[in-house]
Amino acid sequence: MRVRAATAADLGQITAIYRQNVETSAASFEIEPPNAGEMERRWRAVTAARCPYLVAEVDDTVAGFAYARQFHERAAFAWTVENSVYVAPGHARRGIGRALLAELIEQAATAGFRQMIALISSDAEAASVPLHTALGFTVAGRLHGVGFKQGRWHDIVHMQRSLGAGSDTVPHEADG
């Protein structure tokens, strides 16, 4: 397995992985999967904001992807990112999510971000909460019944992890 920056050439496989997640789970609260053009727009927006967007490659195939994006558009949140990690069907429980998230944390910290947030649906909680916990995240709260998908209500678990100096120091202009 190799973790690397996502390229435009990966977007077809990324779109297929995400489509499967949207259609079969509540790991994403989107109801309709975005098309390739929308996925490209999102990839460009993430990378333009100097946030990492990664893929895990196994045998020349994208086996998963992860990215960090601005947590909120307001200026005071400039040093906080939210992560997303998706693994392709047939590649679960092989360390792909862990490798992607570990590299995402490293790259976000190197880019000067100070906090990383994970918003995890109850549909993905069994796998995602232990993964995030193993990489230094702690549960910051739970919102009950905030997403309705696939005929039922889902909670969101909020997890958080400091990056670099976290909130112990004032960020420098170069950090944000």
Beta bridge partners of 70: 81
DSSP string, the chain: -EEEE--GGGHHHHHHHHHHHHHH-SSS--SS---HHHHHHHHHHHHHTT--EEEEEETTEEEEEEEEEES-SSGGGTTEEEEEEEE-TT-TTSSHHHHHHHHHHHHHHHTT--EEEEEEETTTHHHHHHHHHHTT-EEEEEEEEEEEETTEEEEEEEEEEE-TTTTSSPPPGGG-
pLDDT in tens, 105-157: 999 999 999 999 999 999 899 999 999 999 999 999 999 999 999 999 999 99
How many CA atoms lie less than 13 Å away from 132 in the CB half-sphere?
Answer: 25
pLDDT score of 173: 54
Is pTM, for the whole model, over 0.75? yes
pLDDT in tens, 7-18: 999 999 999 999
In the predicted model, what is the mean pLDDT of residues 27-53? 97
Tell me the pLDDT band of 174, cut-offs 50, 70 and 90: very low
